[in-house]
Homo-oligomer: A and B are copies of this chain.
């Protein structure tokens, strides 16, 4: 015999099913995929035989034939050796969770991939067939993104791309509106001089937020008071918070751009004997639920990473499947200011903390 039709490696192939069901390969394929013109009896029969044999179509063969893998890359910028950024842990976790969920619901799976292809012994990127890619905070001239676009792979970014990176679509928060609203909120709570804890890096989040702060100060006739530090260094944040509160022109309210800033600032305030919110109003940008439980609870700006993740994936899959239609290729998402004790001048119950509402705990 030239070819043994029996299962060669323990797994049944479509040929085995066809033989067992007494039909052709074509019929099996059509029956299983709901295509072709087959009477229900044949369809049922084939399916039953396939089930009995434990048949699973080979994903590799299907991908090779159809050109679609059902795989979406999820890329994150890297600091040093590790693939995720440290400072936005909760943001990333929630964003990835939502993105994964949204992808799964449409039959796609997410593949975690490193942002910059370092001189790794393997090039993982070219070993994976991707239908599209999500990029978080793409850097100025990301070689990976450029290469993907060149190959015709759709790319959607979380965060508007710097420079002229030709992404298929992008999703971002309205950072200007968020910062402006937040500063207005602090001013309304009685703040006279609002400080900013910002970063030294040039990503759009940092840049847009800082610019919005500076513009707001100009409009409000306040001198800007800010400290910048390298956001990827968790210890530098504590130092910068301390420096900000040590200044001669000490602010009576502070907004921290990064997740750990809340605890950093709270600790610094304690060191200087400043009471929050009595002597110092505090807000930071964070997705972490713990700020509902600090003493006092800290007002946070949530970027709603869940919604971003979902939207990014929807946009990407629409682009992949060509169902995008005439939709705009960028989408601005609202943020959410979760007001807690730290930004309200009038004192509320301080010994007995208020019961947390679901709204403050929930992530969605």
Contacts and interface: CB of A to CB of B under 8 A. Distances in A.
B101 A83 contact: yes
What is the size category of the interface that chain A forms with chain B? 35 or more
A152 B294 contact: no
Interface string A344-364: 000000011101101001010
Contacts of A363: 86
A97 B81 CA distance: 11
A309 to B, nearest CB: 12
Contacts of A62: 127
A100 B127 contact: no
Contact of A124 (B107, B267, B356): B107
Contact of A59 (B11, B127, B351): B127
Interface stretch (A20-28, A63-71, A197-205): A63-71
A271 B355 CA distance: 10
Given A111-B71, A150-B54, A151-B56, A267 B128 contact: no
A82 B310 CA distance: 12
Interface stretch (A112-120, A180-188, A209-217, A218-226): A112-120
B361 A235 contact: yes
A106 B292 CA distance: 40
A255 interface: no
A93 interface: yes
B101 A82 contact: yes
Given A70-B124, A107-B121, A293-B294, 12 more contacts: A54-B150, A59-B126, A59-B129, A60-B60, A60-B64, A60-B129, A82-B101, A89-B93, A107-B120, A108-B124, A263-B290, A270-B353
A148 to B, nearest CB: 10
Interface string A268-295: 0011010000000000000011101111
Residue with the greatest number of chain B CB neighbours at <10 A, chosen from A10, A93, A352: A93
A109 B107 contact: no
Contacts of A358: 235
Contacts of A107: 120-122, 124, 127
A105 interface: yes
Interface in A48-104: 54, 56-64, 69-71, 81-84, 86, 89-90, 92-93, 96-97, 100-101, 104
22 contacts: A59-B69, A59-B126, A59-B127, A61-B64, A62-B127, A63-B63, A69-B127, A71-B111, A84-B97, A89-B90, A104-B113, A104-B124, A107-B121, A107-B122, A109-B111, A109-B112, A109-B124, A234-B361, A238-B356, A267-B293, A294-B295, A295-B295
Interface in A1-29: 9-11
Q: Please indicate which of the listed interface residues A81, A89, A109 has the most CB atoms of chain B within 10 Å of its own CB.
A: A109
A134 to B, nearest CB: 12
A347 B342 CA distance: 27
Contacts of A11: 151-152
A308 B251 CA distance: 44
A46 interface: no
Contacts of A126: 56-57, 59
